[in-house]
Amino acid sequence: MFGLYIHIPFCRRKCSYCDFNSYAGMEDFHVSYVDALVKEIKFNPSYPGGLREVISIYLGGGTPTFLHHSLLERVLCACHDGFILSPEAEISIEANPETLDGETLRFLKRMGFNRLSIGIQSLNDRLLRILGRGHTVEEAVEALLIARKVGFENVNVDLIFGIPTESLGDWMRTLQRVIDLEPTHISTYPLEIYPGTEMERRILRGELEEVGEDEQADMYLLARDLLTLHGFEHYEISNFTRDGYRCRHNLLYWENDDYLGFGAGAHSHLGNIRFCNLSDPLQYVGEIKKRRSARIRRDELTREMLLSETMFLNLRLLEGVDPKRFGEKFGLLPQDVYGEKLRDLAQKGLVNFGERPKLTEKGLLLANYVFSEFL
């Protein structure tokens, strides 16, 4: 059981806060990139054979829906050719509202995508402009409604909170409107200011002011309260779902399971091996064209690393570390390995140390502190 991650590093424009591996203005390059991607997926020499079923395919970016339909089709076909797909596989694609018209959505549906993740980010036009997004509130809402009409049942909405100038009231209004739109899944991430981004420059120049730690914490708790009140299950630090539509792909990450990544900068994890591809799309394509591997790093994980990573990834889930799965993997229980740590964190009020170690509400907000304790 494992998943495939496919990276599409292209966007129509670069958002002001974005430091992802994505580029605007490379439209002429889409075809060669997909050529390479297809080659990598089909002929990847060292993937562990068609022995196991793929339970998830995730097209992320960038903006995968920015690619021409025919290119998306080729990518997905390559996956079908190269791997055995479970009939229940979750097939996700990320999209920005401005790329989602009725035709595209119908196409995606036809292609077999069964989960759509829309980067709505905020339902406030002022804040969307600050983020440098290429769509309005109206377009975002429209995209979601059409998706529903076309037959996408499982739709995720990505939201960002703590955008410069955003008040708690602004955030509450965004949340309420999103709740009214009834997505099955919501991801809410606090805005982080990354070095080298336009957003950082504007903050350094004093044009924008970062939202403070306390305000961001309040926003987080508001989202948690409001969404759970409206029937969402808070199942991961930043993720909520209705009707059991947990994101199966992301669960692979959080449960420290296996996944193979394709495309520029894509990461893979198989057992105790981790590797990733060249992140520059041009270099990536260059290597694949020369029939070489685009992989640049291969780490063999020690047992210690596996243990600590399992802890800090599992703890992102609100149900915490599953002692049974942990035991199967390591032959020990979490408290056998981290008893003292867990007791100390419990004393600080950050972790519930029952049979399943998990974060407390305070711990959710201070998760990094907790995680770093396991390193």
Which lies closer to another protein via its Cβ, residue 70 or residue 167? 167
In angstroms, what is the minimal distance from the CB of 369 to another protein? 5
In angstroms, what is the minimal distance from the CB of 372 to another protein? 4
In angstroms, what is the minimal distance from the CB of 103 to another protein? 28
- Selection from 65, 67, 248, 242 nearest residue 157 by Cα: 242
- Using an 8 Å Cβ cutoff, are 318 and 359 in contact? yes
Cα-trace Rg, the chain: 21
**What's the token pair of residue 323?**
């002692």
Which lies closer to another protein via its Cβ, residue 150 or residue 371? 371
In angstroms, what is the minimal distance from the CB of 89 to another protein? 17
**In what side-by-side order are the strands of the sheet with 267-270?**
233-236, 239-241, 185-190, 154-161, 115-121, 84-95, 53-61, 2-8, 259-262, 267-270, 273-277, 295-300
In angstroms, what is the minimal distance from the CB of 42 to another protein? 21
- End-to-end CA, the chain: 27
Which lies closer to another protein via its Cβ, residue 105 or residue 187? 187
CA angle 78, 79, 80 (to 5 degrees): 90
Which lies closer to another protein via its Cβ, residue 1 or residue 145? 1
Q: What is the DSSP letter of 50?
A: G
d(CA 241, CA 24): 32
Q: Which residues bind another protein (CB under 8 A)?
A: 5, 7, 20, 60, 187, 189-190, 192, 213-214, 216-217, 220, 237-238, 250, 252-254, 259, 261, 265-269, 274, 276, 297, 299, 305, 309, 312-313, 316, 348, 350, 364-369, 371-373, 375
Which lies closer to another protein via its Cβ, residue 208 or residue 252? 252
Which lies closer to another protein via its Cβ, residue 190 or residue 286? 190
In angstroms, what is the minimal distance from the CB of 297 to another protein? 8
Which lies closer to another protein via its Cβ, residue 131 or residue 150? 131
Beta partners for 61? 8
- Selection from 112, 237, 117 nearest residue 185 by Cα: 117
Which lies closer to another protein via its Cβ, residue 101 or residue 215? 215
φ and ψ at residue 85, rounded to 5 degrees: -100, 135
- Selection from 221, 143, 131 nearest residue 175 by Cα: 221
In angstroms, what is the minimal distance from the CB of 371 to another protein? 5
In angstroms, what is the minimal distance from the CB of 124 to another protein? 20
Helices (H), the chain: 30-43, 69-82, 102-111, 125-131, 137-150, 168-180, 198-204, 213-229, 248-254, 281-289, 303-314, 323-330, 334-347, 361-365, 367-372
CA angle 334, 335, 341 (to 5 degrees): 100
Length of the chain: 375
Q: Cis before residue 349, ω within 30 degrees of 0? A: no
In angstroms, what is the minimal distance from the CB of 216 to another protein? 5
